[in-house]
Every structure is written in structure tokens, then in C-alpha cells.
Structure 1
């Protein structure tokens, strides 16, 4: 028997704002709230335990922005990389510099709280 990733937890100063951002980016919906202020988001109609992991935005007073030991990579599903980049920037992402050369096939971005993530080139089918 093996394990699989069911959810990813991100520390957030403003869970509401990050939940809205990541829902826009991933096409997720809010699926739950906890008494501690955590907000869980996931794929519509699937939720926790579905084929894709959910994200839990967990409130903390001072999360560490920037380079996380783990970061998210996202791929476009219904448009090319440049069109998706435009959409992510409009949703509130900002370019992040982690020492790229400019020759990479991906874009490094940061969410509204400064957490870095990458937009990869390959277009994936929707799940």
C-alpha cells in the first residue's frame, strides 16, 4: 500500500485573500472552513480525497514569504503559457526573481503573500 497527497497546507496572513487567489488560479472552490480560520479549497465536485489534492490556507501571524522548501508548479489546461501568464498576473500574481537566466521554459511568480510558484509551459488536460 502507498500514500498519496491529499492536501497541501500553506501558512497565510490572510487566508481569505489567498483562498480567492488560488481558487482563481486553479479553478477550485471553497470546500470548508475550520474554527481556527483555516479555509480549504479544492476541485468543484470532488473536494477532499478526490484525484487532486486540496489546499488548506492556514492562518498565522507571520508566515515566511519567498522561497519555500516546497513550492507549487502549475500548468495551463485551456490556453497556452503566455495567455495563462496574463491571466495569473491579472489575478494578482507578480513576477519573482530567484536568479533565473531568462532562458527557462517556465515563469517564476509569487502569490499575493509572496509565496513563489512556477508556471510551466506544457499544457495539461483538465482533470
Structure 2
């Protein structure tokens, strides 16, 4: 029984606008309300923008850290994001961290990291998906995906596929307050029956949120939702 990351879902008031923004920023193809993110030699995933009438009202529980291979490349990434409709965003940063905090046209936060970041070396354009969560959450995802921990210190954790690519990180306490269902959610594909796989995942510490035809939504030990779907839909 295996599960793999297939996509990251974003709730979006204007799905196609966000798909266009992220496709252009990342240099990837856009198909309808989604962006394909292939990764040579490492697991790739898609961005999917799901229509909602609920606008963003609080900080997201996850955000991308985009890498740069030079100061000029970092400046170009920031300039491109601004030209596409992004903006500078205040999350309480001091301004001397070496990264630039931005937001897309619907205020979803992301960071453009300065060159020379050793932790993100070799990860690719999307160096990390940084999120809120305790050590327990990091351990849960490591076991569920069968990805090794690549950081486990001071209650902060990170995992990465054995094939490399984007890291998933959790910043430890104190967590941000949660305001309703998260706007960003991982979609996982499984090669076993959904009911069987969801039971396995619940045994690891997840709880069931909602079950429907061909799709099960669960929440990890930090109450962050994710979706389980079959890898070959009927």
C-alpha cells in the first residue's frame, strides 16, 4: 500500500487567474484551473485551484519557499511576481531575513529565498512547502508517505522524498490559530481501496473529516485537512 502526493489544492475566488499567476511565475504549463509541476528525478505534483466564494481572511497554514541561484535571480523572481499581480506582504518579518515575503493576487503568502540557503540546496524551484505543525505532525507525514525526516531539531521537522525535490517542513510551536477549513490542502493518490487506506492513515493518527464517492478528506494530528483519492479513478 502506497500513497503519493498528487496535487496541492488552493481554494480560490478566481481559480483561473491564480492558475495563470502561478504558471507564469513558475514557468509551467497551465490547463484550465491547474498548473503542472513536473520535477525531473523527483516526485512532481500539480497545483489545483478550486472555486470558492469564501475570500481569504487569515494567514495560510502553508506557503511556498521559492529558491534563487543568484541575487539577480531573486530580484527577477520578485519583479515577475509583482508584474503578474502579486504584492509585498507583511507577516511580521523584520526585513533583514534575506528572503522576500510576497502574496499572489488572492493574498496567498509565499517567500522568495536568497541564494546560498543550504537547507534548500538541490531542491529545485520550489524549495519547500513550509507549514504550521508540531513534531508529531512531521512524524505522521513521514510515516504516512514513507519519506525520511531530513530535519528534526527544536521541535521543527522536515521530510523529503528519497528521490529529492521539494521539502515539506513544520515550524513547531506556537501554532497559528486556525480559522475554519484550510485553504491549502494536499491531495494524495493511493493504490489500494480508499476505505482500506483511510483506515491505515487513521491508525497513524488522522481523523476522518468527510467521505464521498472517490474522495476521502481527513485531518492530520495538527487538524490540517488533506484529501485521499484513488490513483486510477473509476
Structure richer in strand, relative to its length = 2
Q: Pick from 92, 103, 106: which aligns with 2:96?
A: 103
TM-score normalised by L of structure 2: 0.44
Q: Does 1:122 align with 2:118?
A: no
Aligned-pair distance for 1:4?
3.8
Matched, 1:41 2:63: no
TM-score (norm 1): 0.77
Q: Name the SS for the 1:20 alignment partner.
A: helix
Deviation per CA, 1:3-30: give whole Å up to 9, x if none. Answer: 4422100000000100100001111212
Residue segments in structure 2 that go unaligned for 5+ positions in a row: 117-121, 126-164, 166-234
Q: Which has the higher contact order (CA 8 A, sep 6+)?
A: 1
Partners of 1:72 and 1:65 in 2: how far apart? 19
Query: Judging changes above 3 Å, is the alpha-carbon distance between structure 1 residues 117 and 76 closer, same or farther for their aligned structure 2 residues?
Result: same
Residue in 2 aligned with 1:36?
none
**SS of equivalent to 1:113:** coil
Rg comparison, structure with higher value: 2
> Any unmatched runs of 5+ in structure 1?
34-38
RMSD of Structure 2 on Structure 1 (CA): 2.7
Count how many residue pairs are aligned between Structure 1 and Structure 2. 117
The corresponding residue for 1:6 is 6
